[in-house]
């Protein structure tokens, strides 16, 4: 078994390392202390391909392997955990879920903007009373009377990018104990952030 990194993987590591040292490092302590969301840096990371690394190129992603993704995550995590966590959520939880389970219209609408860094994604699973016990969640989803959409009722907490995201993957109970994810756009009627 060959444990050597490919030339492409080495280039990704170098690109991530350079970006981290030249762009993220200046002011990282101040941003962390002052709790400043790295919006500007996430956009730049999207332009470099870091926000949709494993996304299929037909949706604007890099089509890279998980080792390349892990290498980039490792380099960014060494210095700026805010950027690395936001990158991770966008790639692993939001883009991956949409690409795997979304319909084609959803993929076309959301993934290119998420992968480019134009939009940020958030993942709404955790609730005040259920933590990582997803089945203990209280958020519900009921089909509207006309059957055209679902109405979600509940509350989520500890959501990475929660106050800054453009699109949210929100999990809710449907029909009793069934559990499913919903795409919720920022600005949806009745949706508030706190």
Cα separation of 179 and 166, whole Å?
23
Residue-level pLDDT at 35: 92
Residue 61's alpha-carbon distances to 56, 57, 148, 165, in angstroms, are 5, 4, 31, 19
Confidence of residue 1 (pLDDT cuts 50, 70, 90): confident
Whether the predicted pLDDT of 59 surpasses 80? yes
When pLDDT is averaged across residues 36-45 and rounded to a whole number, the result is 92
Residue-level pLDDT at 130: 83
Which of 65-79, 104-118, 119-133 has the weakest average pLDDT? 119-133
Cα separation of 85 and 65, whole Å?
19
Cα separation of 64 and 175, whole Å?
38
Facing residues of 180 across strands?
Answer: 172
Whether the predicted pLDDT of 131 surpasses 80? no
Q: What is the mean pLDDT of the chain?
A: 93
């Amino acid at each position: 078994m060959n444990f050597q990194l490919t030339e492409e993987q080495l280039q990704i590591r170098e690109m991530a390392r350079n970006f981290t040292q030249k762009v993220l490092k200046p002011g990282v302590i101040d941003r962390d202390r002052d709790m400043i969301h790295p919006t500007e840096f996430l956009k730049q990371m999207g332009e470099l391909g870091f926000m949709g690394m494993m996304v299929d190129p037909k949706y604007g992603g890099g089509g890279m392997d998980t080792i390349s993704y892990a290498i980039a995550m490792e380099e960014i995590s060494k210095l700026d955990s805010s950027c690395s966590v936001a990158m991770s959520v966008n790639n692993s939880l939001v883009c991956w879920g949409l690409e795997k389970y979304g319909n084609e219209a959803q993929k076309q609408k959301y993934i290119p903007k998420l992968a480019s860094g134009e939009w940020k994604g958030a993942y709404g699973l955790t609730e005040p009373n259920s933590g990582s016990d997803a089945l203990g969640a209280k958020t519900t989803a009921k089909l509207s009377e006309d059957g055209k959409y679902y109405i979600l009722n509940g509350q989520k907490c500890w959501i990475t990018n929660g106050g800054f995201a453009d699109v949210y993957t929100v999990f809710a109970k449907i029909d009793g104990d069934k559990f499913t994810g919903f795409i919720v756009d920022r600005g949806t009627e009745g949706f508030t952030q706190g």
